[in-house]
Amino acid sequence: EVQLLESGGGLVQPGGSLRLSCAASGFTVSTYAMNWVRQAPGKGLEWVSIISSSGGTTYYADSVKGRFTISRDNSKNTIYLQMNSLRAEDTAVYFCAKDRGNYVIQFDSWGQGTLVTVSS
């Protein structure tokens, strides 16, 4: 059974940093592209970033480009999202999502999410 478990969320001050982790089980992350999707409280879904199965290709939403970095450690079957220069508008539940393939950006499995709150 595919499972994705996010961790690392919490309260951080504006301008601060946080690293989210997504531990996968039931499949090998190196076989699929992996994504982060976020949802601000009471709002809709927003795609954040993708990393290809090889890790050689990454893309970001304009809203986080230059501030967030996605990475993967295939030996740990885990992906990460390093978030720097955090803003109030980054407050959201962050979901890890497994791609259906390598870079089709359609998500057939999701984690339960981790809440990031950016506030002073």
Residue 64's contacts (CB-CB under 8 Å, 6 or more residues apart) are 48, 49, 83, 90
Please report how close the Cβ of residue 40 comes to another protein at its closest, in angstroms: 12
Binding mask 24-63 for another protein (x = CB under 8 A): -----------x-x------xxxx--x--------xxxx-
Q: How many binding residues for another protein (CB under 8 A)?
A: 22
Residue 5 touching another protein (CB under 8 A)? no
Burial 4-42 (b: 16+ CB within 10 A, else e): bebebbeebeeeeebebbbbbeeeebeebbbbbbbeeee
Please report how close the Cβ of residue 26 comes to another protein at its closest, in angstroms: 15
Binding mask 69-98 for another protein (x = CB under 8 A): --------------------------x---
Q: What string of DSSP letters covers 32-60?
A: S-EEEEEE-TTS-EEEEEEE-TTS--EEE
Residues that bind another protein (CB under 8 A): 35, 37, 44-47, 50, 59-62, 95, 100, 104-108, 110-113
